[in-house]
Structure 1
């Protein structure tokens, strides 16, 4: 089988219903174009590849992906910010682009079979994908500004959406029918040599980097008596907490862990306890970045309240806190005021420090669409702070060692220095301070 296209997309961002709708619409449009091409004659149609539909339960998913990537005629890449942060999307990209490059070297012509779709706006395309043109005047200004996902949401059966889907179907048809890029057998996209061109090196963590996720949230047992609580948010453990459950089935801690693992981190998840300060100190000493995932309604409850207030009073380089926010809490409704009061009452100092900071280390009011970007941004900032802090500690330790190892003269008497007649006063040696100067890194929160 040679699927007409392989749909490559970032799988961990919200519900997949819109991706599935686009896939179905594109398949239907492609069939129509094939009938027109064959003048109504029956057309054999190799079903395009979509992971959640094409891989069966119990099937070896790596083998299925490798087979589809090695034999599909074209590949559609749904551009989103998460797409270019995903290691697996980068591997899919590389596998197909290698096949397309082989065809270009053999035939001397570009099949244009790697077809980008601007699903969501992307601030910057990484260098590994920048050579592929992804916008065209035919798609219109709304597509360039907002992406196809928003056009689909605004008017699923509208003329603009259907026109863009038709343009994509025609491009697939041209590449699939007029060019047959060489197949690749036995692809293993999990192999080290299969790593793709993104995430970029600057977005990847250093080898051996570790991250600690600490969750402060209620369980279904402690939250059920509060009528304002959505029962789908909680589970048996605080780590089951999912404030975005209407959009994604994954608990927040698991979603955060997967995002960081894609960037090369080794991740450990735990629950906030009364020894939070010691836990953060230990993580800092081991060079680990730490992110607190805090449920606003649970923040003031024990055992979290005292631990979080102590965290707020202390300065822990290498840590940040994210307080997710539901749609009803973000607006002006009755849920929003208690949410913001809870955040300010438990973390007042971090709240104040974040005023005017374009990237505060207390990220509050974070919606589902904002969470992934906020996590990546604060982890990068926290990692820089941690590296600076540890480097300063290292240099300070070396300086202390140098001072104490130098043999200083022992003075039997203490004399007051007096100026020479008609001459300047003799310079006095500076007295070494027993306490290091305050660290700028520790004040930058």
Structure 2
């Protein structure tokens, strides 16, 4: 197998319509440039199309990366947070480096595509030039994904695809980087240059996911229930229109990719004690909260107590579906429910997202929001533990290693139901072709 190019991208959950469309358009443009002649190697590699049901996916990826002529990397924030994308990057970059050492020339066979704007490029990928003035200002500011979504058959998109196909054609036809057999992307030595050490959990790190959500049995009393519940709160899936994966499972997989060992529980009346125990064991804790679940006990009671208390090492994420994030009646009910269960944090933030309370999180924002709060939670937890150690050294009265009881902050009577501020919600992404998440 010798794919003409290998498409490397962050595999988010949900449909990948735009990624597949770009892949098909790039293949078609390469055939056109070759004047209809078949490519002198196997069909370009896209995992969801090239790996067959029942096939060993790790072996298939290893074969494709070890023999492909070029690699096209779709740059996104999630791409540089993905351990597996880092492994794909390293596998191909090692082959390209070997060619440079032997031939004395750079094949430029690793071709970056700015799929979405990125906050920063990790040091391990910074040496690859990805800015391209020929692609235009719109590409540099918004990325190719938005250009494709706004006008799939437009001249700007077609021109960029043509330029990318020409880059692939030159590298694939004029250079043959050394092939590598037996690549195992899961091996420890195959770890790539991203995510960075600062973003990747230390080995042995533990995370606790706590879910507060209704079940299909308890959700029936709400009108127009979207059908995103199951037998257990952990089956809750606010993004069911885009993915069949429960949000707790999605969060668990994202954290495991960063090196965490993850445990999932359901919020109960002993939430405070559970969080204290997790903090004492050095675990980060993330609450996944369905806003409307606050009306059900014991969720409402436990979450309101959490809102009034100081729990270092924990954060709350309140996902929402598309209807809840819009401007209709479901959106109004959603934000009222958020204010009802988190009145203290809401009044502190005046409606703006707080670092440790992220609400209004749609499917396309969830991965990034979870990543951000976990980093914050880790920093808070480490800071708390260091402060505790210093206090223990300075005070002769502390003879035990037990953690202090955290005080509860009372909510002023006139703030229990604050005036509903207009919540700051991210601007909508004008996706015309799909409601999509990549990996």
TM-score range, shorter chain: 0.7 to 0.9
> In the alignment, which residue of structure 2 is the partner of 1:150?
146
What is the deviation of 1:15?
2.2
Distance in 1, matches of 2:357 and 2:398, equals 39
What is the deviation of 1:401?
4.0
What is the deviation of 1:136?
0.9
> In the alignment, which residue of structure 1 is the partner of 2:302?
307
What is the deviation of 1:170?
1.1
CA pair 343-358 structure 1, distance change in 2 beyond 3 A: closer
8 A Cα contact 1:214 1:292, kept in partner: yes
- Does residue 1:209 correspond to 2:237, yes or no? no
8 A Cα contact 1:13 1:82, kept in partner: no
Distance in 2, matches of 1:359 and 1:180, equals 51
**Worse overlay, 155-164 or 63-72:** 155-164
State which of 259, 264, 271 in structure 2 corresponds to 1:269: 264
State which of 284, 288, 293 in structure 2 corresponds to 1:293: 288
Distance in 2, matches of 1:356 and 1:222, equals 29
CA pair 438-47 structure 1, distance change in 2 beyond 3 A: closer
8 A Cα contact 1:241 1:252, kept in partner: yes
CA pair 357-154 structure 1, distance change in 2 beyond 3 A: closer
8 A Cα contact 1:90 1:198, kept in partner: yes
Counterpart secondary structure, 1:292 = strand
> In the alignment, which residue of structure 2 is the partner of 1:34?
34
What is the deviation of 1:271?
0.8
> In the alignment, which residue of structure 2 is the partner of 1:427?
none
Structure 2: unaligned runs, 5 residues or longer: 408-439
Distance in 2, matches of 1:42 and 1:382, equals 53
State which of 185, 188, 193 in structure 2 corresponds to 1:189: 185
Structure 1: unaligned runs, 5 residues or longer: 405-435, 440-445
Counterpart secondary structure, 1:211 = strand
> In the alignment, which residue of structure 2 is the partner of 1:71?
67
CA pair 356-294 structure 1, distance change in 2 beyond 3 A: closer
Q: Work out which of the two has the higher radius of gyration on C-alpha atoms and give 1 or 2.
A: 1
**Worse overlay, 61-70 or 321-330:** 321-330
8 A Cα contact 1:359 1:378, kept in partner: no
CA pair 438-275 structure 1, distance change in 2 beyond 3 A: closer
Distance in 2, matches of 1:66 and 1:42, equals 24
Matches within 5 A, 1:151-166: 151-166=147-162
> In the alignment, which residue of structure 2 is the partner of 1:46?
42
> In the alignment, which residue of structure 2 is the partner of 1:424?
none
Matches within 5 A, 1:170-181: 170-181=166-177
8 A Cα contact 1:329 1:339, kept in partner: yes
CA pair 348-3 structure 1, distance change in 2 beyond 3 A: same
> In the alignment, which residue of structure 1 is the partner of 2:426?
none
Counterpart secondary structure, 1:328 = coil
Counterpart secondary structure, 1:254 = helix
Counterpart secondary structure, 1:26 = helix
8 A Cα contact 1:128 1:198, kept in partner: yes
CA pair 44-279 structure 1, distance change in 2 beyond 3 A: same
Counterpart secondary structure, 1:103 = helix
The size of the alignment, in residue pairs, is: 404
Matches within 5 A, 1:209-248: 209-231=205-227, 233-248=228-243
TM-score between the two structures when normalised by the length of structure 2: 0.88
> In the alignment, which residue of structure 2 is the partner of 1:10?
10
8 A Cα contact 1:14 1:368, kept in partner: no
CA pair 359-201 structure 1, distance change in 2 beyond 3 A: farther
> In the alignment, which residue of structure 1 is the partner of 2:55?
59
What are the superposed Cα offsets for residues 348-386 of structure 1, whole Å, 9 maximum, x if unpaired?
A: 112223349874311111122222121111111111111
CA pair 262-253 structure 1, distance change in 2 beyond 3 A: same
What is the deviation of 1:89?
0.1
Report the RMSD for the aligned CA atoms in angstroms.
Answer: 2.1
**Worse overlay, 10-19 or 124-133:** 10-19
8 A Cα contact 1:205 1:265, kept in partner: yes
Distance in 2, matches of 1:359 and 1:311, equals 15
**Worse overlay, 78-87 or 203-212:** 203-212
Matches within 5 A, 1:55-134: 55-134=51-130
Distance in 1, matches of 2:340 and 2:132, equals 50
What are the superposed Cα offsets for residues 95-130 of structure 1, whole Å, 9 maximum, x if unpaired?
A: 000000000111111111000111111011111111
CA pair 438-329 structure 1, distance change in 2 beyond 3 A: closer
What is the deviation of 1:14?
4.1
